[in-house]
Structure 1
């Protein structure tokens, strides 16, 4: 048994003594091929927590909606989700904070259309039925392109979870769907990609998958939060060092081929910890980055759509983004 855990940076001892550490950490994740999935499959979280006597538990969520419910109940300490659901978490009063950007979404999300639907451009969606997961990054991107073309009121939108989207697609119940991998890959087997989130980002509407931490945990155990970040950063490094090997790591748990996993992983931008705290993304504790503006644009949009009753102001959003845990991790590496 460890009498004192040395997890401080700059050779400073942590004040967390034996008995004050949690016995377990509960992490909610999405079934997507990202740094977290690599770290989880390779047992990297266990490497950081087993020696401290902390058990790591992992809970799958199909969407951020369910993850937010679990955060609200206190049944999980961390949750991955699209950044839109991060905004909803803040707007609905969850005591959480944004600590990590998994990836900036590109071709990993997109709008697929049935080959015989007659949809060859965005304007052709008028009069059609399109499925997506409401309040997700896919929903956000879809509504942005519909708004750009002025056809939002002319399209029938259906709120479905990813597995239901695949089933509805196979029954020909829908003409199109905006969703993410691996469901996107399933429906593209018999469909065409009309537009991806990479193109939507080029239009000025960036989306990302993020990690939220429950403040009741993160404020008590900042060094353990840095450990979570360390594991995910290591997973990202494995991908950058050998993309094919990383694809092999995640293919089996995601029940997809290695080639499919690699294509999905290359469909987004994976950030290093150093990139995370640049001005373009989260920024630093002293000077927040541009992603705070992305969150505000998203919040205003969700309010317009009725997904939230009030858009958090910029001050609230700035307080919601917390880069200090990445900074703790990077200080250890110096």
Structure 2
């Protein structure tokens, strides 16, 4: 009887030890290496580093190795992407830096972790052939379409303001697909938008001013990547790996532009030549350039991009596009280069 009791005690002790060990292992994983059940990524259909990495299966290899399901979800603008970030239905999102500013000003719990590209010829103000619009003053009395609160909207407002005609035109808030339809119907003769929509307008129009020209005047715009702070706090290594995947897409473009263009062409339904033209119309930064003083800067040493964001926010507030402009300190904290630094280790 005594032996049976001792045997039961031994078995119970062994089982308890296994349970404790399993719990301890799970706790360790949660503390240092836990993974999400799924990752949702909001992206724009533009030929940037993210699209290259997506089409070249760089993300597929990364997430499959982790054993984590993932999904890319298209957003036509940062407005809807911000709503999805706020609800927690996506973890990462690509958008123009103006919508990043809106996210911060509205208290959405996100941070900026990557600059996809600094916008140039890829974005511009198209005017229709036969409209007799050849200079800013010719826009007086015209309807001009653009997605409100976007980088295109920001550049357009500054272009009109410099020409002194901001109160003499009618601005229409349209998504990119709506712009093409309105253009073809003859409802509008001018629109500030980005590729590939801009290319559709150029078939029967020309570019009056581009974001490259506006950047030279100090109105810098960019597409950026945001991540939910809760997600990046819980899965810092995964976020760093995602950033590394973006970097690899940029590396492919820099080493073989034609191959990168061919990769994204089918995804976007455009020719490789068109894709390459769009890709060369913006500036793609290396991780080292992102960490430089001209852009994001390093941890504890904010770069100039934070000041650009603040200046842009002040302008958006003056235009009543946002209710409040976050402080410079808030922008410094919003731009987090930690994951870029981790990706280089």
Q: TM-score, normalised by structure 2?
A: 0.91
| Partner in structure 2 of residue 113 of structure 1 | 127
Distance in 2, Cα, partners of 1:14 & 1:189: 54
Aligned match of 1:192: 206
The aligned residue for residue 28 of structure 1 is: 42
Aligned to 2:148: 134
1:205 aligns to what? 219
Q: Which ranges in structure 2 are unaligned for 5 or more consecutive residues? A: 1-21, 23-28
Q: Which residue of 1 aligns with 2:317?
A: 303
> After TM superposition, which residue ranges in structure 1, 4 or more long, deviate above 6 angstroms?
none
1:10 equivalent in structure 2: none
State which drifts further: 259-268 or 118-127. 118-127
- Tell me how far apart the structure 1 counterparts of residues 234 and 145 of structure 2 sit (CA, whole Å): 41
Quote the Cα distance in structure 2 between the aligned partners of 1:52 and 1:161.
36
| Aligned counterpart, 1:7 | none
Deviation at 1:286, TM superposition (A): 2.0
Instruction: Tell me which structure has the larger Cα radius of gyration.
Output: 2
The number of residue pairs the alignment matches comes to 318
Q: Which whole-Å CA distance do the structure 2 matches of 1:29 and 1:327 have between them?
A: 23
| Superposed counterparts of 1:50-65, under 5 Å | 50-65=64-79
Following superposition, the deviation at residue 14 of structure 1 comes to: 10
CA RMSD of aligned residues (A): 1.3
Q: Mind listing any 5+ residue stretches in structure 1 that lack a counterpart?
A: 4-12
In structure 1, C-alpha distance between the alignment counterparts of 2:142 and 2:63, rounded to whole Å: 50
Residue 16 (structure 1) shift: 2.5
| Structure 2 CA distance for aligned equivalents of residues 175 and 186 of structure 1 | 13
Name the counterpart of 1:39.
53
1:16 maps to 2:20: no
Q: Give the alignment's TM-score, normalised by structure 1.
A: 0.93
Larger % of helix: which? 2
Which among 81, 104, 108 is matched to residue 90 of structure 1? Answer: 104
| Matching residue of 1:80 | 94
The reply on whether 1:183 has 2:197 as its aligned counterpart is yes
Contact 1:23–1:53 (8 Å) recurs in 2: no
Structure 2 counterpart of 1:9: none
1:155 aligns with 2:161: no
* Equivalent residue, structure 1, for 2:10: none
